Amino acid sequence: MSLKVTDLHPLLSYIQECHEGELLHFTQSLDKTIFMLHFLSWDTFSDLERQNCCHVLMELKEAVMEIYINDVKGG
């Protein structure tokens, strides 16, 4: 499956509607989510599951921050 810009419309709509289009607010929420994952009971997820979930969230945060930085440099 190859993604097109239109495929990302639901994500962009979510950021616009729930975070008022503020990418930094969205990334702060991701940081809080990652932080809270570490306080769940250790038997909720395996170490690998916890690591994988945090990794996905960190990668998403980095991608959004790259968009933000490129926008600031270009805008």
Within a 10 A sphere around the Cβ of 41, how many other Cβ atoms? 6
Residue 32 lies in a domain: yes
Find the helix or strand (DSSP H, E) in which 27 lies.
helix 23-37
Predicted local confidence at residue 59, as pLDDT: 92
Q: The domain containing residue 69 runs over which residues?
A: 22-74
Predicted local confidence at residue 63, as pLDDT: 87
If the chain, 75 residues long, is cut into consecutive pieces of 10 residues, what is the mean pLDDT of each piece?
75 87 89 87 87 90 85 73
Residue 2 lies in a domain: no
Predicted local confidence at residue 2, as pLDDT: 76
- 3-class DSSP state of 42: coil
Residue 11 lies in a domain: no
Residue 1 lies in a domain: no
pTM of this prediction exceeds 0.85: no
Number of compact structural domains in the chain: 1
Predicted local confidence at residue 23, as pLDDT: 86
